[in-house]
Chain A
Amino acid sequence: MKKFSKILFVGLLTIVMGCNDAIDIRQPGRLDALNAFQSVDDLQQGLLAVYNQWDLSPEIALASNFTDEVAVSFDSGGQGFALYDFVLNAGSAAASDFWVRNYRVNNRATLLIEAAANITPEDATEQALFDDVLAQAHAIRAYANLELMTYFSPDPTDDSTLAAPVVDFVAPLDYQPLRNTTGELWDYINSDLTMAASMISTQSSPTFLSADGINAIRARAALTRKDYGQVASLSSQLLASYPLANQAQYQLMFLDADNTEVIFKLERTLTDTYDGQGTTGSVAAGGWAGARFAFVDATITGGSYFEMDRGLFNLLDTNDVRYDVSVAPSSIINPNYDTDPDPVNTDILIIQKYPGSEGKPLMNDLKVFRSSEMLLMLAEARVATNNDLTGAATLIKQLRDARFGSAQAMPSYGTAQEAYAAILDERRIELCFEGHRYKDLKRLGPAANRGVDRDPTDCNAQSGACTLAATDYRFTLPIPIIEINANAGIGGQQNPGY
């Protein structure tokens, strides 16, 4: 019986001691929500995580793949064919990426803003830092919502249309909102921008949002809403601080070695989250900006799957520094491409806007706001506000003078439409592969009588998807299926055409 008691004792011991160490386990390295943000320094580190959610590569991919910036290149493995053929629907990556990504940014920024409410800065230095962090969080959130506005509101200038839900709080997991009106979403964006502008203390910084960067967002927002008075005032103000780059500075800018005309850019560096190829041929891109066009590098041996649309190439003058920046020297240029039996292999226009930096091919900082965009915004505003065609022409000449490095002829426009068309064409050259073309066509295409206009040699080699009117419903993205699956009500508010 003694042994029996011993066994019983050991058994009981197992129950009492064994139990908790096996089932009450805290894994090492966990940071719970309560301890995450306890100081202003923590908030600043939180802000870096919010910044890290901000990406331009989807805009770059959508604008180039869907419009007339690229053509299918000789090394294509089928990347992006559907979007090139204008196939865009509620199941497309474009719809889900723009929706999900921007709401994620909105959520992460809001989390930080709410966490900040529990922290009291200890002195004036901390207060300034605290305000700067909050200002940037509000501005990033505004930018995300501006993107939702641009891509999901069928008409951002009409406050009564439906835009996207306004979510200015950390939504509970069962939240299933319906779309707010464009007017309501503008109110949210503008309140964030006003807040940001009032709290920011840094005037200028190339890789973090400063007072200038926030003003640039405000200018872009005003442009999207066609509030041209505001556009004119903000853009001319920024243009004064950020002169156009000269030719050398311009080239260095795309090697990430000059910031003369950079108002704000997103930094991309070695071994960061975006240091990789991303998803090639998809709007859900991520990764190196240059990997939207090539697998390996921006030369003819770099696995180019999208090359430059020949129509865009034809707009470039070899004396224009933008030719040097956008077209790789290793390109094969065939003047008789339109009669050549095999233009895919004999006329290869390698895109070089993202040649790489820090020794890493295709990896470059993402230019969000440059002063040349401000100039082109101002030109658009001049035409729109008081039909100042000469004023617009003067600005275009100013830009070309800088890009050619010599005085260019003064253009002259007979009508507003002509001026808009010229501005749009200039934007196509100046801002190519920077993610503007899709939204530019949506905003300005109808007034300029411009749409997607691919070179027939390129598009006919595919399925013949050569032109698309800027009034087409596909210039507004559909509410994605992934949202409708979770939020059935919003499925009844789908954008027209889908």
Chain B
Amino acid sequence: MKLKLTWLMTLFMAFVMQLSFAQEKTVTGTVTAKADGLPLPGVNVIVKGTTRGVQTDFDGNYSIKASANETLVFSFVSMKTAERLVGGNSAINVVMEEDAAVLDEVVVVGYRNQSKATSSAATVRVSAETIENRPNASFVQTLTGQAPGLNITTSTGQPGGNSLVQLRGVGSINGNTEPLFIIDGAPVDEDNFRSLNPQDIASIDVLKDAGATAIYGNRGANGVIIIKTRQGNFGEGLKVNYNGYVAYSTLQDNDYNMMNSQQLLTYERDRGNGAGAGNSQGVFNPGNGTPLTDAQIAAAPNFDWRDFFFRTGVTQSHTLSLTSGSENTSQFTSFGFQDTEGVLQDSDLKRFNLRTNVTGKSTNEKFRYGANLSVNYSKSNEPNSIASGAINRNYVLGAYQSVPYISIDDYTNGADLLSPLSFTNTPLFLYDRLLTYTRFEEEVKAIASANFNYDITDWLTAGVVLAGDYQSEFLTRAEHPASFNALLFGGAENPTSGFQQQTTTRQFSYNQVTSLNFNKTFADKHTVDLGLYTEYFKAHFRQFGYFSNGLDPKTFSPGDGSGFIAPANGLFADTANAEILNAGLFSYFASLDYDYDTKYGFSATVRRDASYRFAGSNRWATFWSVSGRWNISNESFMDGSAIDNLKLRASYGTAGNQDIVGLGYFGGPDLTEDFFATGSGYGNANSIGLAQLGNRSLRWETITSSNIGVDFGVWNSRLRGSVDVYQRQTTDLFQSTPLSATTGVTQQNANTGELYNRGIDFIVDYDIFLPKTEGGFKLNVGVVGNYNETELRDIPSENGEIIGLGREGGILNEIFSLRYVGVNPANGELLYLTADGDVTENPDADNDRVWLGKSAIPEWNGSFKLNIDYKNFFLQTQFNYVLGVDQFDFDYSDAINTDNVSQFNLSTDVLNAWSQPGDVTDIPSPSAANRNSFASDRFLKSADFLRLRFASFGYNVPAKFLENTGLSNARVYVNGENLFTWTEWRGFDPSSLGGQRSYPTPKTISVGFELGF
């Protein structure tokens, strides 16, 4: 029937056309896939050398006007492009072959797309498959280990918490070191992705070298990450897809061997200090001077505060998406809801997402447009004071350090904890806070972008991309008047203490790129692409809020103002705050690409940039790049070789970093100026005081990158990958230059010094087994790696050393410290080395410090993967590794600090403390005279690790089972994050840079399914 209709149509069309035109006729036909013989919808059929083109319909049929001397080009993603001369044919049916080698063919470079083969830049694409369905609230965490050179550090377990993203080392000391993130053409705040739904992402491109990033000039110095969200296709029926999962997160445990109640009470009794000795002020066995008996100690309760403050966090996530397309428009719409509980009490994130992406074109295809809109709302409870030493505020401290013999049952109310006020009651202070303290953030985030392109001629295109990023954040914080903290600091005189704070912060940024592109192929082999661009960026920050002191417990409810107390003599004085900041950038730039027969290519970019930050000094700067490639595999001498892809690339260029203070759009807006400020002075009267000493010579940090790389594919790309060697040189580093205090300040940040990052990136994939039949066994392994070393030059100090930063020729952030060598067996004192290497108990805290050649910046990082597909089952694994990281384990130093006895729990390691001459141990005598005297490298530990970062096991329900169910596809899976970690680090999470008493990232297991209708 179908055939008949086509025939009739063809006849009819041919008839009509022949009547109308003598030479141009209509060609029709059907396009099918070779593999299964099924029709292929959506194939582009273009008359070669023109912009005339159509797409095949659902049944693979097409119809196009063409002359006999013209050639039709049939192209489709992942298929080999086919060409057919029209000649005398009026019906051309095409069978298209799959092309395994070009699965990730298109790369995003600069403001344009190129085929992988004609790109001379170092870029990596992370596809949606490795991002979707992973139980991370922020997609950035998911990128860990997926692209060589990309180092992602997440130092908080707060759901949706910010991650530090660094590409190819650390490009700046004080300035921004994170890449520019662009979502559908909109540059976005790189520190806030908690409101976005990772399930909407179609692809992520990581642009690494100057060839790719120089065109982003003023913000591309640290690399660029380009995110595209899903789109509909033209001429596609409605498809509905549902993804959902439930995840369970738990704490990654430490290895500190904390004592149980019996051990701790016995130790306290031995030390004569604490509940075990009968002289505690805490709620357990408050002091009567009589030590506990063995029987009493044995009967003491054990309460696990870690299990109390850390819980199993449950997450549920649902995404429903709809795609459809007509001839000239297509759309993608998705709705998302996610509710994530953090493993720490009172930390969570709930969000709603709506995204709609629309694309369209004119019938003649000369005009094309796209619009992307994402509106998101999230609410998160986020405890603060994390990592602080506040025993009444940091829940994490309570989890790590609380004594186990106090239990939750000992809690009555906040007032009862006031007297006697004892540090030993720390967990009860914190439990009280959990009950009485509120802190949550609500956020509305909208990202909108629109792009318009118009082909003025077949070689000239004008385009504009308009993009906005809006976020509005509301912070609410309240301390109940009846809470322990309010009563404690208010005192008996102020029974209505407590406070409520609300702050609203709005931020909007607008970016517009206007472009004109010339693209022409000469003599079939010479392709030239020239682009001219302007970019305009403007951002606005608005914040206001109040801090209300004094709340009436009768009417107080968090977020509501009924309980506010009228200020009395300034005691309950409220404060208000408001702030306005504006930022802007402007640039114009050009890019030129030349290709000869897909064998040789050359690209160049030049860009003039202006930043509002340097208005008073060096406003404009120029950045540029050149790059070239040689597609060796396209040379005739490579014909017949097993190597089907071999490309040599090289690039060199500069990019600027204008965010030299590293605080985002608005940080350091006018550092070139001297300012005074009015505000609270002596006696709280208004005053005029010095606020800022300006730096008149402020300018951009410049990163000059060079890169040489090879892309390769062997045996039909069964083995494929790329290797890049690079150097990034940052000049005019904006860094702290120490000043004599006699100037009235002790330091000023100035552009001085150089920082080098040198390294190698590689990514290799190998399909060990490829399925010979459908559902056959497929085994794929891969490795991603980056080695990076840093070097400092021209350090701004007399002796070429700055403590905390490093030394001339040394690594960045090299640790400078006393060297600890052990405990003196004779007297239990700590032993150190002098600068000359002599052992001493009393080193010079200043002059005996040495450079240790260690830092917290990794030397190696990357991942291994192993993926298996068999029948309808799949298994994906990703092992991450980080090597060459040294960090101070301050949590351990707390756990063995014997001065904490009676107040906090201790590690069983302290039972090995020195007690008599001759004891050989690493734990000093509890009364060692120098135990608190010196900071040293005693707790500096290696934080290298190998971790099973991600594993996924799942099942795709075969199509035959889905017949008559209304489903087009179905999949179920189990995912795990951070499942196992192999490390010498004894703390909770070696990958965290959060320091002491911080909130570690969790281990997560999720179960989910995906349905397509």
Query: Do these two chains interact?
Result: yes
A74 to B425, CA, bound (A): 13
Q: Is the CB–CB distance between A31 and B573 below 8 Å?
A: no
Contact residues, B668-689 vs A (CB, 8 A): 669-670, 673-678, 680-689
Q: Is the CB–CB distance between B689 and A52 below 8 Å?
A: yes
Question: Which chain B residues border A21 with CB–CB below 8 Å?
Answer: 538, 584
Interface string of B544-587 (1 = CB under 8 A from A): 00000000000000000000000011110101000011111110
Contact residues, A360-409 vs B (CB, 8 A): 360-361
Contact for A31 among B281, B289, B678, B933, CB less than 8 A? B678
Q: Is the CB–CB distance between A359 and B569 below 8 Å?
A: yes
A328 to B17, CA, bound (A): 107
7 smallest A-B Cβ distances: which pairs? A107-B744, A49-B689, A22-B584, A486-B738, A51-B682, A48-B687, A48-B681
Smallest beta-carbon distance B486→chain A, Å: 12
A487 to B745, CA, bound (A): 13
| Known contacts A25-B584, A81-B899, A341-B272; A175/B742 CB under 8 A | yes
Say if the beta carbon of B636 comes within 8 Å of chain A: no
Q: Is the CB–CB distance between A271 and B927 below 8 Å?
A: no
Q: Which stretch in A218-226, A313-321, A477-485 binds the other chain? A: A477-485
Interface Cβ pair total, 8 Å cutoff: 287
Contact residues, B356-373 vs A (CB, 8 A): none
| Known contacts A52-B681, A176-B740, A483-B740; A91/B612 CB under 8 A | no
Nearest to B485 among chain A residues (CB) is A296
Say if the beta carbon of B512 comes within 8 Å of chain A: yes
Q: Can you report 14 residue pairs joining A to B where beta carbons are below 8 Å apart? A: A7-B516, A30-B670, A30-B675, A36-B676, A37-B688, A45-B681, A49-B682, A74-B281, A85-B929, A165-B742, A172-B743, A269-B570, A296-B489, A486-B746
Question: Which chain B residues border A483 with CB–CB below 8 Å?
Answer: 740-741, 746
Say if the beta carbon of B19 comes within 8 Å of chain A: no
Say if the beta carbon of A257 comes within 8 Å of chain B: no
Question: Which chain B residues border A165 with CB–CB below 8 Å?
Answer: 742
Q: Is the CB–CB distance between A27 and B687 below 8 Å?
A: no
| Known contacts A104-B744, A167-B742, A269-B570; A48/B676 CB under 8 A | no
A170 to B744, CA, bound (A): 8
Q: Is the CB–CB distance between A25 and B689 below 8 Å?
A: no
Question: Which chain B residues border A33 with CB–CB below 8 Å?
Answer: 674-676
Q: Is the CB–CB distance between B570 and A463 below 8 Å?
A: no
A173 to B674, CA, bound (A): 13
Q: Is the CB–CB distance between A15 and B740 below 8 Å?
A: no
Say if the beta carbon of B768 comes within 8 Å of chain A: no
Q: Is the CB–CB distance between A108 and B744 below 8 Å?
A: yes
Contact residues, A6-57 vs B (CB, 8 A): 7, 10-11, 14-15, 18-19, 21-33, 36-37, 42, 45-52, 54
Say if the beta carbon of B421 comes within 8 Å of chain A: yes
Contact residues, A69-125 vs B (CB, 8 A): 74-75, 77-78, 81-82, 85, 87, 89-91, 99-100, 103-104, 106-108, 111
Extra 7 A-B pairs, beta carbons < 8 Å, given A19-B586, A23-B610, A24-B615: A3-B456, A25-B584, A32-B674, A103-B742, A107-B744, A165-B742, A270-B573
Q: Which stretch in A241-249, A297-305, A427-435 binds the other chain? A: A297-305
A177 to B739, CA, bound (A): 11
Smallest beta-carbon distance B457→chain A, Å: 9
A463 to B569, CA, bound (A): 46
Query: Chain A: residues with CB nearer than 8 A to chain B?
Result: 1, 3-4, 7, 10-11, 14-15, 18-19, 21-33, 36-37, 42, 45-52, 54, 74-75, 77-78, 81-82, 85, 87, 89-91, 99-100, 103-104, 106-108, 111, 165, 167, 170-177, 207, 266-267, 269-273, 296-297, 300-303, 341-342, 344-346, 356, 358-361, 463-465, 481-483, 485-488, 490
A176 to B741, CA, bound (A): 9
Q: Is the CB–CB distance between A14 and B585 below 8 Å?
A: no
Nearest to B491 among chain A residues (CB) is A361
Nearest to A43 among chain B residues (CB) is B688
Interface string of B727-771 (1 = CB under 8 A from A): 000000000001111111111100000000000000000000000
| Known contacts A45-B687, A482-B741, A483-B741; A30/B673 CB under 8 A | yes
Contact for B612 among A24, A54, A266, A271, CB less than 8 A? A24
Say if the beta carbon of B153 comes within 8 Å of chain A: no
Question: Which chain A residues border B494 with CB–CB below 8 Å?
Answer: 359
Question: Which chain B residues border A301 with CB–CB below 8 Å?
Answer: 418-421
Contact for B846 among A3, A45, A89, A111, CB less than 8 A? A89
A77 to B392, CA, bound (A): 12
Q: Is the CB–CB distance between A303 and B687 below 8 Å?
A: no
A18 to B587, CA, bound (A): 10
Nearest to A19 among chain B residues (CB) is B586
Smallest beta-carbon distance A206→chain B, Å: 11
A372 to B987, CA, bound (A): 56
Say if the beta carbon of B693 comes within 8 Å of chain A: yes
A296 to B933, CA, bound (A): 27
Interface string of B892-934 (1 = CB under 8 A from A): 0000010110010000000000000000000000011101110
Question: Which chain A residues border B460 with CB–CB below 8 Å?
Answer: 4
Contact for B684 among A36, A54, A271, A360, CB less than 8 A? A271
A356 to B680, CA, bound (A): 21
Question: Which chain B residues border A50 with CB–CB below 8 Å?
Answer: 689
Q: Is the CB–CB distance between A342 and B423 below 8 Å?
A: no
Nearest to B457 among chain A residues (CB) is A4
Nearest to A177 among chain B residues (CB) is B742
| Known contacts A19-B586, A75-B423, A342-B279; A485/B802 CB under 8 A | yes
Say if the beta carbon of B890 comes within 8 Å of chain A: no
Q: Is the CB–CB distance between B740 and A272 below 8 Å?
A: no
Question: Which chain B residues border A75 with CB–CB below 8 Å?
Answer: 281, 421-423
Q: Is the CB–CB distance between A18 and B690 below 8 Å?
A: no
Question: Which chain B residues border A85 with CB–CB below 8 Å?
Answer: 929, 932-933
Q: Is the CB–CB distance between A171 and B740 below 8 Å?
A: yes
Question: Which chain A residues border B524 with CB–CB below 8 Å?
Answer: none
Q: Is the CB–CB distance between B573 and A89 below 8 Å?
A: no
Question: Which chain A residues border B610 with CB–CB below 8 Å?
Answer: 19, 22-23
Q: Is the CB–CB distance between A481 and B846 below 8 Å?
A: yes
| Known contacts A18-B586, A89-B846; A269/B684 CB under 8 A | yes
Say if the beta carbon of B537 comes within 8 Å of chain A: yes
Question: Which chain A residues border B693 with CB–CB below 8 Å?
Answer: 173
A359 to B56, CA, bound (A): 81
Contact residues, B272-303 vs A (CB, 8 A): 272-273, 277, 279-281, 287, 289
A82 to B420, CA, bound (A): 27
Smallest beta-carbon distance A43→chain B, Å: 9
A46 to B900, CA, bound (A): 46
Interface string of B415-454 (1 = CB under 8 A from A): 0001111110000000000000000000000000000001
Nearest to B799 among chain A residues (CB) is A488
A124 to B762, CA, bound (A): 80
Question: Which chain B residues border A358 with CB–CB below 8 Å?
Answer: 569-571
A267 to B581, CA, bound (A): 34
Smallest beta-carbon distance B924→chain A, Å: 12
Say if the beta carbon of B514 comes within 8 Å of chain A: yes
A19 to B462, CA, bound (A): 20
Contact residues, B651-670 vs A (CB, 8 A): 669-670
| Known contacts A52-B687, A89-B846, A173-B748; A7/B676 CB under 8 A | no
Contact for A14 among B514, B844, B897, CB less than 8 A? B514
Question: Which chain A residues border B36 with CB–CB below 8 Å?
Answer: none
Question: Which chain A residues border B193 with CB–CB below 8 Å?
Answer: none
Question: Which chain B residues border A296 with CB–CB below 8 Å?
Answer: 421, 488-489, 491
Question: Which chain A residues border B676 with CB–CB below 8 Å?
Answer: 31-33, 36
Smallest beta-carbon distance B470→chain A, Å: 18
| Known contacts A108-B744, A301-B419; A48/B683 CB under 8 A | yes
Nearest to B538 among chain A residues (CB) is A22
| Known contacts A37-B688, A103-B741, A486-B738; A51/B681 CB under 8 A | yes
Q: Is the CB–CB distance between B797 and A111 below 8 Å?
A: no
Instruction: Count chain B CB atoms within 10 A of each CB in A48, A54, A172 and give the residue with the most.
Output: A48
Q: Is the CB–CB distance between A487 and B740 below 8 Å?
A: yes
Q: Is the CB–CB distance between A486 and B740 below 8 Å?
A: yes
